[in-house]
Structure 1
């Protein structure tokens, strides 16, 4: 992995090799600025010649691949740095759901409190917080790489998923405008599809009240798509509760005819449930927001398609990963140096304002410490712990979770090491809201190497 370099006045220079960076550090000509990504600052140099470099982005719903490449004159690109960002949109979604539930409880169960002002306006281009997080995180790393490398252009895979074709492969023509519910309503459509009977018990429970029921519960991320809806009686709906159809079928026995019918129908419904299109919807929603944010940086922005990325990857014999997909974005003649380690970046946040834990009934269970730092460390710092003796002897590197007692936990790529004293810890990098670990480089297989040679 290339080492990022800045000059004496913190202006970006061309990245160098690990060997050259080690010589500069040993001779006292450079100092370490960051460990992840590894960046050094030259102490005796101001300015210098640079070459065109480009940031290439492969945006995704759960992870985004990024690549820093040097552009050659003949269309060949030399990969300098690879990174993969793991987003935390699902965490943000769950936190907002908890806040919404607490707000409703305060206004209804405790005492009625009308909203004091209407601050729920949505300007043009508004995205949900869980989606806006993906754009903000990607832009944050674009700005970081611009500080540490002489970036002259940006490329983005501007992919758009055809969600209707993903749901129905034979759709064509005017069917795109009609949709599944053409000429009917949701409840009437579901009643007709299930012949006015409960989809689980087929009327054996005797409950005449039929309701619209979610196969995958909304409280657990289920959507309101027709493929996730069935007609169920109130009795089956309440017994099923907050479980998916598959989980309910596993919990049901075969003691009665009603249980056997419910189990068989729940298994059939779970097996026939259409795949979720949540990830495709997230990419479709954020692609233009990211593109406009990249244009606002003032750099030339090139957009490529997903089909072109896949064609470049297969033509050049490159394995499929998020970071290597980013390197294949756009018009590419050849790619050199792609077999290198990847910096895995996980968005972890900067902590929580919550000062207590709650029981399942909503009552406080102990209180968290008020101090942010303990013995000079805070949760999220990257440390190196050298333990000499005992069961935990060895060198441990990772993110630290502090305790008031001075006995810390360290999150390493191999797991959590508990009970490490602060005396063994050395700070390597302050907390910045991300967790890091370096993934080993991926070598080409025999088939890929053969296709590349051909």
Structure 2
């Protein structure tokens, strides 16, 4: 748990059991509900010895893993894990929808502003909103962690895949390719991400996977990454050096899917490579030392420590390390939801307003997105429900918990835990599904 001194200065995190004792004895009070941050009432920063922590960041297209850990040379001890779920896809969809509305209004010669796409100049370092969102949210949470913990250094995975080398058609053998400790990690990790870590022919998972040439090299197939796929050992031996059309002659749907997926680029890799430098520059502006490493190095570290694959464990293994002595037991899942919308209307299929929304967002002191606890004494909804609230003007609210939506709870039974900050919080055990 994160701990603050009496004046608000961050101290070293403590064990949850220690935090409960401090809260029960009155020596601390809750500073923030999620993630839990306590503030001591009887100790100042001058009377405390601070060791300091470090933060590892594994940026991704859909998810970003963040880990807080103690570092003693090459030994790391995991303290806190956070998985940040981005909403870049929904931002892109809304922008495409808005552009379609505007294009349609211009095409039918309606009274609307003239197009301005031809007289605009993008500044240097410009990123689309869907990509800029990934950088901004990751930086926002790193900034929050520096307020709650004495962060001494940052470790970020600056590049997941060297797409330039992948597209160059470099052979998979030879001295030039075999140099270095991380032999084969970049190509293999790229293929694992692209093909979903399963056999492309039979869909088997959890088994050893080999690199297979879709068009065999003995039949003029190349070593380009677009001609490589993953195959389990039985499928790889059964295919041998036959053309893929012959091997999958009795399964036309599998053949069509495989050929389509082989030609399609890995969009997630493109998004990560586009934002990697912007994120690194943003982290460098915090004034903390920033150490960078590649995704191949992270996978190599995980293979040496025997840790399973996850976003938060990747963040814990970023950079140079020798061993990891402890892993965080639970992961805080933070989903980006936004802070609502400034638009006070709903549109029809043509982009014109069809109804108006109330201009006041707070109802009986609550706003949509607030983290609340509802204690219902009786009825079919009796019990304690904790989650995000959706307000209604009639005073009967909906509460979204980890197990579903509880509808029609009166505001008198609801207690505010934390104001909406643009994120939805849940938790999960490392490697398992989410829980409330």
TM-score (norm 1): 0.72
Query: Is the 2:101–2:351 Cα contact (8 Å) retained in structure 1?
Result: no
**Residues 161-176 of structure 1 aligned to structure 2 (within 5 Å):** 161-163=161-163
Q: Deviations over 1:334-367 (max 9, x none)?
A: 2122041000000110001222323334454433
Contact 1:164–1:171 (CA under 8 A) maintained in structure 2: no
Corresponding residue to 1:357 among 343, 346, 352: 346
1:304 aligns with 2:302: no
Q: What is the distance in 1 between the residues matched to 2:53 and 2:70?
A: 4
Q: In structure 1, what is the equivalent of residue 22 of structure 2?
A: 24
Q: Flag the structure with larger Rg.
A: 1
Who is 2:92 aligned against? 93
Aligned equivalent of 1:433: 422
Q: Aligned-pair distance for 1:271?
A: 4.9
Contact kept, 8 Å, 1:88 with 1:347, in 2: the verdict is yes
Report Cα offsets for 1:171-191 as digits up to 9, x if no partner. 699xxxxxxxxxxxxxxxxxx
Compared CA separation, residues 102 and 319, structure 1 to 2 (3 A) = same
CA offset digits 1:381-416 (Å, max 9, x no partner): 000111122222221111111110111111112222
Instruction: Say if 1:42 and 1:112 are closer, same or farther in 2 by CA, change over 3 A.
Output: closer
Contact 1:68 / 1:82 at 8 angstroms: preserved in 2?
Answer: yes
| 1:167 Cα deviation from its structure 2 partner | 6.6
Residue of structure 2 equivalent to 1:248: none
**2:67 counterpart residue number:** 67
Write the mapping of 1:71-220 to structure 2, written as runs, cut at 5 A. Answer: 71-72=71-72, 74-109=73-108, 110-111=110-111, 113-115=113-115, 120-163=120-163
Alpha-carbon displacement from aligned partner over 1:359-378 (angstroms, at most 9, x marks no partner): 33445443322211011100
Does the CA-based 8 Å contact 1:8-1:44 persist in structure 2?
yes
Q: Classify the secondary structure of the residue corresponding to 1:16.
A: coil
Secondary structure in 2 aligned to 1:302? strand
2:215 equivalent in structure 1: none
Gaps (5+ residues) in structure 1? Answer: 174-226, 228-263, 444-454
Counterpart-to-counterpart distance in 2, 1:314 and 1:50:
32
Structure-1 separation of matches of 2:425 and 2:269: 26
In 1: Cα distance, 2:332 partner to 2:119 partner: 40
The alpha-carbon distance between structure 1 residues 267 and 155, as it changes in their structure 2 partners (threshold 3 A), is closer
Contact kept in structure 2, 1:340 and 1:442, CA below 8 Å = no
Change (3 A) 1:417 1:168: farther
Distance in 1 of aligned mates of 2:116 and 2:274: 31
Greater alpha carbon shift after TM alignment, 103-112 vs 433-442:
103-112
Q: Secondary structure at the match of 1:144?
A: helix
- Cα distance, 1:168 vs. partner? 8.4
* Preserved contact between residue 5 and residue 41 of structure 2 (Cα < 8 Å): yes
Alignment pair present for 1:417 and 2:411:
no
Distance 1:136 1:319 in 2: 28
Q: TM-score, normalised by structure 2?
A: 0.75
Q: CA 1:80 to 1:172, structure 2 compared with 1: closer, same or farther past 3 Å?
A: closer
CA contact (8 A) 1:66 1:82 kept: yes
* Residue 272 of structure 1, aligned match among 259, 267, 273: 259
